[in-house]
Structure 1
């Protein structure tokens, strides 16, 4: 699930700071207990090392206080959508120095709710969407075309929007679940070249953050994507890479792609994928977020 951002960090940091050693641990949590390997790795960190925790799960078990006391630079990478009802709760933790996020809308929401946090200074926020990743999967474009959604349609208000689209697109709209392995994903995109992105709370009154993890995986596999509209700031970096439409406009955008020959769709998908590779190269994303400067600053004081 988090592979796109982990890959972005593992590939991006060495390209910016070759002297840094990057380690990745996938930590199993069982009844609140962390693994011994993880605890040992944390306690081997020293002053001006960088610690990044990805995702909400298990963050309450991280020894943030110990890390802060030992001058380790702490980062929480948020992977959850934010709105007016679910602000960024980790901002209230004074031992977290920075919050990195995949969505500009999420960052704005966290900043707008700063009065809810009992904290004198907010952490540094950085926008870091998942970048282009290596993918053995390559989307194929068949005739007739189908619009595929990867994941569950019953989350949030998504089912209502799915029902509306199904009534318009009929058998051309397909839902595929259980895509948890590289081989399953490869089979998915091989049979479906056009993919749909819907928010869990679809067709909302207020803007929604864009699901950039999904976009990274699909664009890296040369898939065409039609996405429900998101916050304008989140859409802008993906201009020309993703087709954005309201729920009621998705059928029209699908018809445009479906009426193209499979060869034309294949050329369009390759062009978008190549553009994505350039614009979302991991090192470039980290540099744009100011992480290169951060690493250089930490290195000078080690």
Structure 2
């Protein structure tokens, strides 16, 4: 059976660095990569068609990549999911063909994990999950700068992604990698991941080592914070951060999983309360965007006629 190394993590959480290193180590990346940019100079290692499909799926559910509301897991069994599943299986073949070891990565999969695990299985892959873990304050500052979102919004997005990551991957082989440890010693991190996921890295030769050393640049990690949130009301964030820190040391920690379940239950109850207000806000944002787009179109017409 083919093996898919599914790198599952929050946006700006170090997933690109891990996916890129896996590609250097011999895992096949997708054929149609998202282009690198100033926010990710070494590339994202994501399949552009898969990213676009995920955006389409989320939109069909009334959700978006930066939405922190819960997604009903029963959707996976719906008729609409069956249509998306057929397209997703085809995309996997288009991007990877029959390669025996591939790396799959798109942070949006965190929100659609149950769907993609079933798709990978249907496409003939045995999935092993690698979960990069980065200090949340580093993540949210990077995300805020990249997308112009508030820190509070970014914290909620981080919380939802991390809770979803844990819940959906409990039934599949998984390993957790602290990004700071990975950047300091990628060899040790890959050895640990290989042992826990039963992946043999003995085929990594001297050229691969040089390539990975050149790929991993600690200077490209632009946010480095050792402290938590001394002035922020962030109980949920701190509890989830600590739980994932425990999981990087003991991936089977019942204490950490129990704590994540408690936070998820509390967070979901709160989301139900705020959902109507959030929905109205999103609708207003889209109306404003449509109005702006219309004005820009009119402006282009006037420039043409002038």
Structure-2-length-normalised TM-score: 0.29
**Higher RCO (C-alpha 8 Å, min separation 6):** 2
The structure in which a higher percent of residues are helix is: 2
Structure-1-length-normalised TM-score: 0.30
